[in-house]
Structure 1
C-alpha cells in the first residue's frame, strides 16, 4: 500500500490484535483474502462482480431510485482507493429510465466465520445510503454473482449482516452509523440493531469491522466493539449465520434514505482496502485447566463463571439444562460470565457444562456438573435497564399486581430520547403479542384475567418508537404474590412485621423463633447473614438502596423487599 510502511502495518496489527483479544470471543489472525485497490482504472474483475439486474417490477428495494451500473464513472480505482460514485444523471437500462446511477459490487469471495475490515470514507449527503454488508451465498436473487449456482434460499432466510449503513436513521446525530442483522425472526425494520457516532464521518477514514464466530457477531468501529449479536439459544429463525456469506459495497439513493435535494450532483464512498481474516492453522490440542462455578443468583437468573486455557486462544463452552443448550466462547484463560436468564423463581437447576475449542477438541474431564436454586420471586416491581432486543438509554419500571384472579401489568419507559412510543405485552410461551393501554406519557398497562393463583407467568414488553424498538427482558411473576415495596409495616400469616424503610437497625417482630436472617443485594449477592435468634440486626455497614430480606423460621421462609435509608 502507498500510505504507510509494512513495518507500521505490523505495529498496527499488534495493537489491534491486543485490543480485539479483549473484546471479541474469537480473534482471527490469518489474512485469507484482500483487495488493496492498487491498480488504477476498472475494478479487479477477479475479485468483484457488478450487480446491475433490476429486481422484478423495475425498481430496487426500499423505494430506492437509482440504476446500478457497470460504468467506469460509477466505480473505479484511483490513487489506491476504490471509488463508488452515485450520480444524478438520466440513464436507461433494461427498458427502464432512472435519474440516478450508482454501483453495487458483489465480492466473488465468500467465507464462513472470520473478521472483515473495511477502511473507508463514506458520504453524508442527504438522500444517500452508503453501505458495507454481507448476504448469504445461497440467496435467491437474480443478478447476484452466486445466484445461478447457489441461489436456493429467499431473503431473509439466507441471513444479512449490515456492517455499516449511513443515511437511514434521521432521528440520530449526523455522524451516526448503524449495524444490523436481518433474520427470519426479525427483518426489515429489524430490532437487531446497534449504532455509534463516528467522528468526522464525511471527511475522515474509519475502519468498519465485523467479527463473526459460531456463537456471536460483533461490530467494531476503529477497533472498538459497539454492538454484539448473540442469541442465547440459536435456531434457523434467529441464526442463519452458519453458512458462507459474501460482501457487498454500494450507495443507494432515496427511498428510506429520504428526499434527494434538487441540487444534488454526486456523492462518493472511498474505500482504502477490504481484508478478511480467518484462522487457518490446524489445531489438535484440547483445552486444559477447565473450571466452573456459580456466581450471582437472582429470582430469574443464575450466573455461571467459566474458565479454560487453550493453545488456540479461544475456549468454547456448552451449557445444558432442562433440555436447552447454550453455547458461548471466550478468550483463553479469561473468566467468562454467562448469565442464564428467564428462569423460574425458587427453582432448582442442574447444569452440565463442557469445554472445547473451535476445532472440536474436548476437555479431558468433560462435563462439570453444577447445581443452583433461584431466589424467591422478586419481580413484583422495580426498575431495570436490561434489553433482550434493542437497548434502553435510561431504562424502564415494571409492576405486577394480583387483583382477585387478575394480574395487572404496568411498564413505563424512562428513556427521554424516544418519540412516538407504543407498547406491546409479550408472552414468552406460547409467544403472543398484545397492545397495551397508554396510561400517561410512556406508561402502559394491560390486565390478564382469570389467572390461576400460584402459577408462574412470564412476560416482557416491546416498546416501539420512531426509528426502532426496545424489548425488556422477560419477567417471571407468581400469580398472587405481593412483593411490592411498602412504606409501612409489612405483615403475613406468621405475624411477621418490620418497619420499612430501615435506618440503622432492622427490627423484626415475629411470634416464632428466628433461625437465621439473610440479606441479599439486587444482584443476588449475600451481603449480611446472622444465625442468631435475634430480632435486631445492625445494617449500618450496608449502603443505601434496595435489598432482599429473607427470614427463616421453623422450616418456613419469608422473603420481602427492603429499603435501607
Structure 2
C-alpha cells in the first residue's frame, strides 16, 4: 500500500469494550464458501525454525496477535480510498481469517472493510514469511498483505520502510497479477522498487496461493507458490530500513489512487481469505 503519510492519525483499537466487536459472528457475519483447491506450503524448512504463526483456528481473532484499525483516515488513508474500516468486517470461519469488503453506508462512507495489524504485538526481523490466501476480485478492490517498520511512530513513513508481500488490483484483467514492492526514504524523498508476476491461467481469486518473502540482511526475495519473481539487494546504506523489525498489516481497500473506484461490474461483498501466516527463521 502506498502513501501512508497519515498513519499516526488513525485510531488503534486494542481490547474492545463490547462483545460484538470482539466476535464478528455475533453481528451476523456472512458464512462464505471457502475454496478447497490451491497451493500449500510445508510446515518446516531445512535449517529453519517456525518462530510464529497464526492458523486462525479459533472462533475469534487472537488479540494477542492482532489489533483492528478503524475509520477512514485522512485523505482515504493517504490513497483516496473509499472504505470505512470496522472490526465487524473480520470473522474466523472454518480455520480461516475472512476480511469482507461490503457496499454499505457507514461513517460517511459508501463501503466498509477491515484492516488488522500486529503492531506492538508481533514484530520480526528477517526470515521466510508464508501466507496462504485467496484474493477478492472486482474493479476497485485492493487487497494487501504487507509490513511496516516497527519504528514508524518515531520516524514515520516512508523512513520506517514498507514491504508489500502481496498486492492485487481488481478489475480490467488485473486479477491474475501479484505485486511485490518495497518503499523507503532516500534523500528525504519516497522511493520504491517493485516487481510482479502474472499467472499463466486463472486469477488469484480462483484458489489458494502461497505468497512469500525470504528476507535477510542483504536481500528480500518475493515468491508465489515457491516460485521467485522479484528480488532487491538491500545492502546499500540507503536501504538500512530493511535491516530492522517490521509488523504485519492485512486489509482490503476499496477504491483509491491505484485501482480506481468500483463500478457497475463490481459485486459485493468481496472476501480476502487467509488460511495461515507463518514465519521461519534460520537456526
Q: Structure 2 length as normaliser, TM-score?
A: 0.77
Check whether the contact 1:114–1:277 (CA below 8 A) recurs between aligned residues.
yes
Q: Is the 8 A contact 2:147 2:249 kept in 1?
A: yes
Question: What is aligned with 2:145?
Answer: 132
Question: Shift in Å at residue 197 of structure 1?
Answer: 1.4
Q: Do the aligned partners of residues 76 and 64 (structure 1) sit closer, same or farther apart at CA in structure 2, a change above 3 Å counting?
A: same
Indicate the SS of the match to 1:110. Answer: coil
Deviation at 1:266, TM superposition (A): 1.3
Q: Take 2:217 and 2:140, find their aligned partners in 1: how far apart are those partners?
A: 36
TM-score, normalised via structure 1 length? 0.40
| Deviation (angstroms), 1:238 | 2.8
196 and 189 in structure 1: CA distance in 2 versus 1, 3 angstrom threshold: farther
C-alpha displacement of 1:185:
2.8
* Cα offset, 1:77, TM superposition: 0.3
CA deviation string 1:242-269 (max 9, x = no partner) = 1110011000010121120245321101
The RMSD of aligned alpha carbons is 2.7
Structure possessing the higher radius of gyration over alpha carbons? 1
CA–CA distance in 1 between the matches of 2:146 and 2:161?
Answer: 11
User: Deviations 1:130-175 (Å, cap 9, x if unpaired)?
Assistant: 0000000111xxxxxxxxxxx11110000000000000796x7540
Equivalence for 2:23: none
1:69 equivalent to 2:72? Answer no
Q: Does residue 261 of structure 2 align to residue 248 of structure 1?
A: no
Residue 216 (1) aligns with residue 219 (2): yes
Structure 1, gaps ≥5 residues long: 18-26, 140-150, 282-565
Instruction: Say yes or no: does 1:109 pair with 2:111.
Output: no
Report 1 or 2 for greater relative contact order, CA contacts < 8 Å, sequence distance ≥ 6: 2
- Aligned partner of 1:202 among 201, 205, 218: 205
> Residue 28 of structure 1 contacts residue 114 of structure 1 at CA under 8 Å; is this kept in 2?
no
Quick one: distance in 2 between partners of 1:59 and 1:126?
18
- Per the TM alignment, residue 39 of structure 1 is displaced from its structure 2 partner at its CA by 1.5
SS across alignment from 1:47: coil
**SS of alignment partner, residue 241 of structure 2:** coil
Task: Say which structure is richer in helix.
Answer: 2
2:166 maps to which of 145, 164, 167 = 164
| Residue 38 in structure 1 maps to residue 38 in structure 2 | no
Q: 1:13 and 1:265, CA in 2 relative to 1: closer, same or farther beyond 3 A?
A: closer
CA distance in 2, matches of 1:168, 1:186: 33
**How many residues matched?**
240
Structure 2 unaligned segments of length 5 or more: list them: 1-34
